Structure formats: C-alpha cells, structure tokens
Amino acid sequence: MAVKFFENLSNNYLELLDDKEDFNIVINVGESPNAKVFQAHSAILRCRSLYFRNELVNNSKIKNDLKTIDSKNISIQKFEIIIKYIYGGIVVIEKIDASFIFDLMLIAYEFLFEELVKHLETHLIEKEAHWLRLNFTQDFNSLQESALISLISRDDLQMEEVKIWNHVIEWGIAQNPGLPLILKNGHLKIFLLLRLLYKILWKDITKKFMTNQPITSTVLPPRAESFSNVINDKYAAEIASLVDRKANPYSIRDNPYEFKLLLRGTRDGFTKDKFWNLCDKQTHLVIQ
C-alpha cells in the first residue's frame, strides 16, 4: 500500500515561491501603482495549468532568460490565492466574502482549474445561497457560457426553475447587445435557451437521429421546490445539525432528514388541539 505524504510535499512546493535563484518566469499582476511581480517556474505552470502551458508556448517576451506573463486584469490578492493553489494545492476561503469568491471562480475558469471551480461553485451554492439569489441577475451576466452551464446544471442551486431560466435569458441578451430590440421579446428567448441546451444535449440528439447511436447525456430533473417560504434547504441542514449536535454541520447534500410541512399557522380557527391533531400527534416538530 502506498503512503502519501502530501502535506510536506505541498509545503515544499510553496517554498519555491520564495526561491530567488531557479525561477524562470515572471508574472506581472495588477495595474500600477497596485502592481506586483510574481516569480514562477515554467515546469510547474505547464504541469498544473493548460492555460499557462498555452501562454508559455505562445509567449515571446524573453529578457535575461526570463519569460514574462502579464495578468494585469487580476488583483494581487486573488492571484496570491491562485498561485498558492497552483504550487501547494491549498485554498482558504472561509473568511472571504461571497463577491470575492465569485470573482475568484471566474479567474479559475479562465485558468482552466476545473476542480477549483467546482469547489468554489459548491461553496457559493451551499454557504452563500442568499447572496446568489440577490446577485444572480447582476454579476452572473459576466459569467462565461461554460461557467453558466456548469452552475445551472446543478440540482442544488436553491432557486425556482422558472427564475433560473429567466436569468439565463437575461444573461443571453446581455451577451448580444447588438441584436434588434424587437427580437429580445420574441424568438430570441427561445434561441438563447436552445443555444445553451445545445451545449449539453444537441450533439447527442443529432448523433441519435443521424446514426441511431444511443444517447448518453443525462437530463437533470427539475429542481425541487422549497418545502417552506420561510425555511429553505440550507436552514433545514442547520436545524438538523442542531438536533444531532453536530460539531461539523450537515450540508444541503448530506442532510439525513426530510422536512415536511404539516401545517400553516395562518388557517382560521387555529388552536393547540387542532395543531396537535393535524400534526398527527407527532413530537420533535419545527414551528415557524
């Protein structure tokens, strides 16, 4: 059985970031006066990132045997997280606000870090669902198409299906500002939805139609409506964690309990006896 000493390996690679001798790449990050030069190693960048591999192949900026890469559109703080992920596989986001994490996710998409993107997506959906609902129509207009598809393909976004697709339409219109206004209220909406569905299903459907080969794409079921207007799935997971006295709270995905709305207190003639009978004389109830 192999023994894996990843922690020491990670720490050793992070020490290379302060190496003043063997680096052969400089990365210019940020705009003056808030700019910083990072030192890096081509072997590590090529191995860890297809984006940087392509950059190094196409890059002709060589001075003093050093290649230069410009990433001036990224803030220093965000790039520090990215470079530590590249070298050490470490990302710490617990005390960072949701808008910063969202921007970091976009950078991770640009650098083709799929596992990091998935991690940030999951964090936003499970820990920052309220922020997502408030900012979906604004900040999500800046998402790349592949990033948007990845998000809406998830089944734990905690938003009503119709609202998600309305936001997708708004996103599509924002990506096509030159289209005639008359189209924006008609067939364009259908076109935009079909364009996104094409990315997931259309190639598979045409393959079936043209060659009679089996379809392999998985069509996700509609997202379940929330069982309550007050308590959503995130809060249900928190309540379940309190019930079980969990030191590490349940997430939306691993919550072992199913919450069922038994009674709304706004009905006429609400009494304690009616409450007891309508709840089937069950104990351990959550009252909102």
The span from the CA of 69 to the CA of 63, in Å, is 12
Question: How many CB atoms sit inside 10 A of residue 18's CB?
Answer: 8
37 secondary structure, DSSP code = E
Of 65-69, 207-211, 214-218, 233-237, highest mean pLDDT: 65-69
Q: Identify the pLDDT of residue 86.
A: 96
Residue 287 lies in a domain: no
Query: Based on the domain organization, do 213 and 167 belong to the same domain?
Result: yes
pLDDT at residue 95 tops 50: yes
Domain count across the chain: 3
Q: Is residue 288 part of a domain?
A: no
- Would residue 228 count as lying in a domain? no
Average pLDDT over the chain, rounded to whole? 76
Residue 109 lies inside a defined structural domain of this protein? no
**214 and 119 part of one domain:** yes
Q: What are the start-end ranges of the E strands in 72-214?
A: none
The model carries a pTM of 0.57
Q: Do 201 and 250 share a domain, yes or no?
A: no
61 in the same domain as 153: no
18 lies in some domain: yes
Residue 27 falls within a domain, yes or no? Answer: yes
Domain of residue 260 covers 233-278
Q: State which H helix or E strand residue 34 sits in.
A: none
**pLDDT level of residue 220 (50, 70, 90 thresholds):** very low
What pLDDT is recorded for position 246? 83
Give domain status of residue 175, yes or no. Answer: yes
What average pLDDT does the segment 89-107 reach?
A: 90
Which two structure tokens, joined as six digits, stand for 160? 């009503």
Work out the average pLDDT over 178-194. 55
147 and 84 inside one domain: no
The pLDDT of residue 229: 64
* CATH code of the domain containing 14: 3.30.710.10
Of 197, 223, 249, at which residue does a domain stop? Answer: 223
The answer to whether the CB of 28 falls within 8 A of the CB of 72 is yes
Does 50 share its domain with 120?
no
**Residue 29 phi, psi dihedral angles, 5° rounding:** -120, 135
Q: Domain check: are 184 and 273 in the same one?
A: no
Distance CA 132, CA 43 (A): 37
Give the pLDDT mean for 1-21. 88
The whole-angstrom separation of Cα 217 and Cα 198 is 11
| CA atoms of 97 and 123, how far apart (whole Å) | 11
Last residue within a domain, chosen from 201, 223, 245: 223
In a domain, 160, yes or no: yes
Length of the chain, please? Answer: 288
Query: What is the per-residue pLDDT for 228?
Result: 66
DSSP 221: P
Do 78 and 157 lie in a common domain? no
Choice between 198 and 127, residue whose per-residue pLDDT is larger: 127
Whether residue 171 sits in one domain with residue 130: yes
* Average pLDDT of the segment spanning 125-146: 71
Classify residue 280 as left (phi > 0), alpha (psi -120 to 50) or beta. left
Sheet holding 36-40, edge to edge: 36-40, 25-29, 66-71, 62-63
**Encoded amino acid at 211, one letter:** T
Which candidate, 135, 74, 127, places its Cα nearest to that of 99?
135
Q: Using alpha carbons, list the distances in angstroms from residue 1 to 6, 10, 77.
A: 15, 21, 40
11, 74: one domain: yes
- Contact call for residues 111 and 52 (beta carbons, < 8 A): yes
- Mean local confidence (pLDDT), 106-116: 89
Q: What is the mean pLDDT of residues 8-18?
A: 92
Residues 219, 124 share a domain = yes
Range of 8-12, 215-219, 223-227 with top mean pLDDT: 8-12
Task: Tell whether 187 and 242 lie within a shared domain.
Answer: no
